[in-house]
Structure 1
Amino acid sequence: MSHTTPTGRRRRGAALASAVAGLVLITACQVAPPAAPGGGAEGGPTGAGPGLPTGPVGAVCDNTVPGPAEPPPGAVVVRAGVVGDLRAQVDASPPGAVFWLEPGTHTLTPDQYASITPRDGDTFLGAPGAVLDGRGVNQYAFVSTAVDVTVAHLVVTGFVPPADQGVVNHDSGDGWVIEHNTIQGNKGAGMMAGDRQVVRGNCLRANGQYGMNAYQPGNGITGLLVEGNEIVGNNTDDWEARVEGCGCTGGVKFWAVNGADVRGNWVHDNRGPGLWGDTNNNDFLVEGNVIEDNDGEALFYETSYNLVFRDNVVRRNAIVSGKTFAQDTDDFPVGSVYLSESGGEPRVPARTDRIEITGNAFEDNWSGITLWENADRFCNSAANTSTGNCTLLVPDVTACSQPAIASEPLYSDCRWKTQRVDIHGNTFTADPAVTGCAPGYADRMAVLSNVGTYPDWSPYQGDVVQQAIVRDQDVQWFDNAYVGSWTFLVGSTGRSVPVTEWQAGETAQDDGSTFSPGPGGC
């Protein structure tokens, strides 16, 4: 969940000069073609990236790949207009069957719990024009822990699950392939996720809470692939307004996912963050996406580990949330990428042992990158909004208590740390004509913490975490290119420094970076 004070209030929160000269403005949905199917990108996070997006991908809404116009050999034909026929055919078939839904609207019986229960290896294929409609009555479409199920070429709409629950793969079955569907206009999340799930070429649009909620009870998700999807306009029910500080909205939410590739997606216009990794995620590769016009951050990576974020186009994000903060005179730096208690950790196995943010084009976002660590948020603290969870280094939450927490190794390992972060080879452009003039609120980079005060037994009281994140935790910006009037926060929101001090002071940041004036001022 998000950063909170003890009272619960939310606190959201390098390309060289030649790269700026050659930077071409990229139209809304342009991104590099997807890599070959599979869980890992070619070369992995430590190999060469795909480069910035240059061609269209991810613009699949209203243009998804159509399914077969005729039933495949041996497929069970599901009749449109016959209420409950899909459920009846599934119940009458053995595992591993192929179901072809003919063109038209398919419905379930008018019971809120009526749903489809796949068996292992089942495949559901929609003909062109096949729609599965919950009619605002049924909560879930596909409910099962069956493995290796395929759902493809369908429109899935009108389902009404409760908050935090999903329509497709409601029970987070393993090995599902969900591709070339339009999942839109549902409540809750369009889908859940299981281990080794493939989510490819879908339109995840205008769902009530999330496009996808990548959560599985028991935290067993590994090898998740999210590729070539359009994820747009989710959180139509405005859950943050309905439940203050819920931290429960956005395009995609990831929880305790161990290994994910998120590439070649167009993530835009979501009412909240575009991508949100919340609590003990690890080993993420986010590359070649266009992430734009989201109300919140492009990427919010929270109490998590080991990430490569590269070769993405990131623009016009967090303007809505940033303006809200400014109107409330809240000077917390709302970044387009927000790392909250997240960092590299060699003791947690992954394809990298750092957080690397490289090769991205950041354009006209509310602000740049915020590195934050809440001194009061650690295992067994009431200020830890990920209730009952500890770091991946300490299996027992209760171990993080006095007197043991005051000494190593628990003194270090009971905290999620913003550490081992490399921010390099990126371009950051800022035009106040796009974001609006907001001196002291917009166009900022930040590395900061708060003064530890809570709980009264905390060993992190005072400025110890502030000093650590600024001086001791190996966070560095270098070889970036800036265009516009940028300011830099060091240690706390009350300390804004100019470029000269940012580069030469105690932080000694942005060695090798260039700074150019922008197109206008406030």
Structure 2
Amino acid sequence: MGINWRHWAWAATPLTLALLATTGCEGAHGTRAKPTAAPTASGALSTPVARVCAEPAAGPTRAPAGAVAVDPAVVGDLAAKTKDNPPNTTFWLRPGRHRLAPDRYAQVIPKEGDRYLGAPGAVLDGRKENQYAFGGSARNVTIRYLTVRRFVAPQNEGVVNHDSADGWVIEHLTIRDNSGAGLMAGAHQRVRANCLRDNGQYGLNAYRNGGPFSDLVVEGNEIVGNNTGDWERRRPGCGCTGGVKFWAVNRAEVRGNWVHDNRGAGLWADTNNNDFRIEDNVIEANDGAALIYETSYNAVIRNNTIRRNNWVEGRRAADRGDDFPFATVYLSESGGEPRVRARTDRIEIYRNVLENNWNGITLWENADRFCNSPANTSSGDCTLLVRDTGRCAEPAIARAPLYGDCRWKTQRVDIHGNRFVLDESVVPCTAKCDRMAVLANYGTYPGWSPYQGERVAEAITGTQHNRWHDNVYLGPWKFVAHDPSRVLDSGQWRGTPYRQDAGSALDPRAGG
């Protein structure tokens, strides 16, 4: 692809020139459909994907030495043998369809250190009768090479590790066609090389009732087609859908996953998450955002291929006349905070390819959302900087510094070395699909809030150290700053007072 230098609006650095030299373009993808094979991303920054669902790993064909064999012909055999054997027992599930007792609460309750291995063709089937497959509080349980299907967990609950016990290893499972979440998570959990497919709410709900937990690895999974129950339409504004939802997780590695064709967001970290590394993933064709990082802290987001996301939800918003820049990577009240211990003290987004999504990256801060505000949708939660929540109650908050610790702040976000591609002949764009943004609303509520007026909008755009630089833009990109009404061209975005994207390059004709 040639470059017509007369149409460049920005200066090109050696980094941006190197990125431009590797850029290719593709034809239209047409309407949204689940890919049967992993498509290749254009450009040199593409990432291999985890084809787990089409190519599942096979378990042992014979029982390992000392293992207890489980008979699929005996209803409830798995739960009964687990109960009758001591901790640290290995169970080998023979080929066939294994069933629990016909009681909605029947489930397998492992003991500490138990290990479950499925033979090729071993399936644990809830028959649309049982709610949970594996539960209880035992630590260090391992489950491998098993299909778990057709369980009916309630909303926000999960089928495997229902009680979010610690130290579980979940590998080479196919967890599909269940209600609720296919899988829950606890501390020190490892979720690797699984197919989390077509579950009613989430593929994985990383949540534990009663408090936060630490050290979660989600690696090499295929996470596809989840939220078949379409919960956001059933309960608008619930924030309860997508491929994976993380709640109050400290230190997480999310790498090498293929997150695609979920109804809703692909990955969503919501409320007091911290110290995430989200890297080497392929995130594509999700109805909503590829990634939402909300009221959370300190993350590295790098080396991801992010393609064709947010078409459904973005177009729905545009068609109803909403002028908010609904983004593919959406940071909502999230930023770097040196006082919260992590491997980084900022949110750094770099070396990603964002190609033919509905909008790009939006940094947002709701002026009315803070600890103890009625406008805080994470009701009951306060920031990680405030132990005594009374400090954030009326009238105490009125005496706090304007940008005090009662707010989740979108600050210290560094966006650099990324490639943003937009071909409007590919994206089903009606309006407002071509934007980067850093903005806030004007504070109005509640009446005693100290954050009223333009103050938060001025801070997020001017003083909270949010910066784009050294990126490459291909296509007709626009920029939004301060509030939704301020739509800028590249010159205004680079100029005073915003001074964004130093060292970046833009070719508005190069998206196709």
Q: What is the CA deviation profile of residues 229-251 of structure 1, one whole-angstrom value per residue up to 9, with x for unaligned ones?
A: 00000000100011111100000
Mapped partners of 1:205, 1:324: distance in 2? 25
| Aligned residues: CA RMSD | 1.7
Aligned to 2:32: none
Q: Is the 8 A contact 1:193 1:213 kept in 2?
A: yes
Q: Is the 8 A contact 2:474 2:511 kept in 1?
A: no
Q: How many residues are aligned here?
A: 488
Mapped partners of 1:362, 1:518: distance in 2? 17
Query: Helix, strand or coil for the counterpart of 1:309?
Result: strand
Mapped partners of 1:18, 1:287: distance in 2? 21
The one-letter amino acid of 1:128's match is P
TM-superposed CA distance for 1:408, in Å, is 4.0
1:507 to 494, 498, 503: 498
Aligned to 1:212: 204
TM-superposed CA distance for 1:403, in Å, is 3.5
Q: What is the CA deviation profile of residues 401-448 of structure 1, one whole-angstrom value per residue up to 9, with x for unaligned ones?
A: 234323345851000000000000000000111212334x11100000
Q: Is the 8 A contact 1:263 1:289 kept in 2?
A: yes
Query: Helix, strand or coil for the counterpart of 1:433?
Result: coil
Mapped partners of 2:238, 2:154: distance in 1? 15
Query: Helix, strand or coil for the counterpart of 2:313?
Result: helix
Mapped partners of 1:263, 1:503: distance in 2? 33
Return closer, same or farther for 1:71/1:426 CA change in 2, 3 Å cut-off: same
Query: Helix, strand or coil for the counterpart of 2:155?
Result: coil
Aligned to 1:23: 23
Aligned to 1:472: 463
Q: Is the 8 A contact 1:52 1:288 kept in 2?
A: no
Aligned to 1:516: 507
2:72 to 80, 90, 103: 80
1:162 to 154, 157, 161: 154
Q: Is the 8 A contact 1:31 1:58 kept in 2?
A: no
1:447 to 438, 446, 466: 438
Q: How does 1:330-369 map to 2 (within 5 A)?
A: 330-369=322-361
Q: What is the CA deviation profile of residues 193-244 of structure 1, one whole-angstrom value per residue up to 9, with x for unaligned ones?
A: 0000000000000000000000012333211000000000000010001111
Q: Is the 8 A contact 1:31 1:290 kept in 2?
A: no
Query: Helix, strand or coil for the counterpart of 1:89?
Result: helix
Query: Helix, strand or coil for the counterpart of 1:259?
Result: strand
The one-letter amino acid of 2:210's match is G
1:243 partnered with 2:252? no
Q: How does 1:33-432 map to 2 (within 5 A)?
A: 52-54=45-47, 56-408=48-400, 411-432=403-424
The one-letter amino acid of 1:19's match is L
TM-superposed CA distance for 1:272, in Å, is 0.5
Query: Helix, strand or coil for the counterpart of 2:480?
Result: strand
Mapped partners of 1:145, 1:312: distance in 2? 35
Mapped partners of 2:38, 2:400: distance in 1? 49
The one-letter amino acid of 1:22's match is T
Q: What is the CA deviation profile of residues 138-192 of structure 1, one whole-angstrom value per residue up to 9, with x for unaligned ones?
A: 0000011100000110000000000000000000000000000000000000000
Q: Is the 8 A contact 1:431 1:518 kept in 2?
A: no
Mapped partners of 2:91, 2:39: distance in 1? 34
Aligned to 1:4: none
Give the TM-score normalised by the residue count of structure 2.
0.93
Q: How does 1:475-494 map to 2 (within 5 A)?
A: 475-494=466-485
TM-superposed CA distance for 1:475, in Å, is 0.1
TM-superposed CA distance for 1:25, in Å, is 6.7
Structure 1 alignment gaps of length 5 or more? 1-13, 33-50
Mapped partners of 1:31, 1:68: distance in 2? 33
Q: Is the 8 A contact 1:200 1:228 kept in 2?
A: yes
Mapped partners of 1:397, 1:231: distance in 2? 37
TM-superposed CA distance for 1:80, in Å, is 1.2
Query: Helix, strand or coil for the counterpart of 2:259?
Result: strand
TM-superposed CA distance for 1:477, in Å, is 0.1
Q: Is the 8 A contact 1:177 1:198 kept in 2?
A: yes
Structure 2 alignment gaps of length 5 or more? 1-12, 27-34
Q: Is the 8 A contact 1:452 1:462 kept in 2?
A: yes
Q: Is the 8 A contact 2:212 2:247 kept in 1?
A: no
Q: Is the 8 A contact 1:107 1:132 kept in 2?
A: yes
Give the TM-score normalised by the residue count of structure 1.
0.91
Mapped partners of 2:466, 2:496: distance in 1? 14
TM-superposed CA distance for 1:380, in Å, is 0.3
Q: Is the 8 A contact 2:390 2:396 kept in 1?
A: no
Mapped partners of 1:25, 1:360: distance in 2? 16
Query: Helix, strand or coil for the counterpart of 1:465?
Result: helix
Return closer, same or farther for 1:263/1:496 CA change in 2, 3 Å cut-off: same
The one-letter amino acid of 2:443's match is G
Mapped partners of 2:356, 2:400: distance in 1? 43
Aligned to 2:30: none
Query: Helix, strand or coil for the counterpart of 1:250?
Result: coil
Query: Helix, strand or coil for the counterpart of 1:500?
Result: helix
Q: Is the 8 A contact 1:169 1:191 kept in 2?
A: yes
The one-letter amino acid of 1:501's match is Q
Q: Which moved more, 1:406-415 or 1:326-335?
A: 406-415
